[in-house]
Amino acid sequence: MAITLIAVMTCGAEFQVNTRTSNKQENPAISMDAEGNFVVVWNSYLQDGSSNGIYGRCFDSNCSPVGDEFQVNTTISGNQREPSVAMDAAGNFVVVWYGPGENEEDIFARRFDPNGLPVSEEYRVNSRTESRQRFPKVAMNDAGVFAVVWESEKLGTSSYAGEISCQLYDSNSLAVSEEFQANLLSDCRYPDVAMDNNGNFAVVWMQKGSGNSILARLYSADGKAKTEPFEVSTIKFSSITRPSIAMARTGHFIVAWDGDPNLAGLDDIHGRRYDFNGTAIGEQFVVNTTIAGPQQNPEVAVNSRRQFIIVWDSKIDPNINERDIFAQRYDRVGRPIGGEFQVNTYMADDQKRPAVAIGENRKFVMAWQSDGQDGSGYGVFGQIGNIVGSADFNGDGFINFRDYCILADEWLKSEEPLRTDLIDDNKINEQDLAEFCYQWLLLME
């Protein structure tokens, strides 16, 4: 049987996201819809005339910009920074950030259509306005339901201690719950959130203590807790980290963080997989194979097949304050697809704070901030790739027995070129065969 193939578009070199290049563009975040269209948001210094403002730019699945960059925030006084973005299946998206509020800092949000046109005014997310609300993250399902989490300063303490706050919204941006706290213990930092296609979600954060740890908690679609907070990390660590979480449509999720038991300068990237009930699938694992210098700031993304990718920044030379961006792909059972690889091709100066998203076509897109590449301080740059390649080896627009014969002919070979190397590890083995069978059977449905 011949199966019609949906063409997979591939972009090559790094691309620049920001068009305004003066001063600094930092802290990128990214989200992608079901068709591979995506949006990148960041904060830009002095662009709106008052410290940082929040900006974004939309791209189609071919990496072509959909219009110019646009401003997200309408309140421009003070410092607006650290945006997060989430997109539904149709390409509508919501951006959240923190900025000056009634007392100190509050969390704000704004909704946009697939072309980057606003469909709401900016609005405050947090209902408690005393003290500082910072470091928001947002997750959205295909229908546009979304959850926002942030770090909220605990009141009545002599020194800073954080709590993890959350607010749940329907697809019309109407709150469906009161603001609530995810944590039971004090001194919690840097939350993240991920949501499945039914609106169930998980919150993860760093718990400070004598040995820091990563905690998580699961919630149902109505905002009711399904679990008590539980510990993700099994090895204590001394450094401060921002954990990242990604959830498949089925509710299976992956958590990534950086840490070392003794010294931040020795940080590695760690990950752990869970099923939809919050049951761990194995122990925590080390992602990076390069161990020299600190490996930090991981971000994780997962698709509907539960294939996932983790990106991070790496500082190998302790005498030079420069980093590069690395990534590692994984299959649905947590096996590495190929080895870690360097993402950035511009090698000068400093590259850090990567973000990543995956579409349902198995295409992933990454963004990070790069110092000096656009001629003035940090700018935002991106790169795109595929978790796996297309099984249409003979290029006739179909996946069929002819393609299988090509794969069989190259089985267990390691010389170049390898036409059937679906996972780009310069060999043909059972992982390539499994991916070929999946694409053949999927397209028969």
Query: What's the CA angle centered on 435, arms 88 and 7, to 5 degrees?
Result: 55
Distance CA 328, CA 103 (A): 42
Q: Where are the domains of the chain?
A: 12-386, 398-442
Mean pLDDT by 10 residues, the chain (445 residues): 32 86 97 95 96 97 94 95 97 97 94 96 95 96 97 83 95 92 92 98 94 96 96 94 97 97 91 98 96 94 95 88 94 91 94 95 93 96 90 86 90 80 84 85 63
- Residues 193, 148: contact at Cβ < 8 Å? yes
- The predicted structure's pLDDT at residue 444: 55
CA–CA gap between residue 428 and residue 407 (Å, rounded): 8
User: Going by C-beta distance under 8 Å and a sequence separation of 6 or more, which residues neighbour residue 388?
Assistant: 307, 337, 362, 422, 423, 435
The predicted structure's pLDDT at residue 210:
80
pLDDT of residue 75: 93
Compute CA distances 150 → 126, 229, 442, whole Å: 9, 16, 39
pLDDT at residue 158 in the model: 67
Q: What is the pLDDT of residue 96?
A: 98
In the DSSP assignment, the letter for residue 212 is B
pLDDT score recorded for residue 11:
42
Its pTM surpasses 0.95:
no
Helices 430-442 and 401-410, packing angle to 10 deg: 180
Range 12-386 has CATH code 2.130.10.10 = yes
Candidates 3, 12, 98, 110; CA nearest to 345 is: 12
Q: What is the CATH number of domain 398-442?
A: 1.10.1330
pLDDT of residue 12: 58
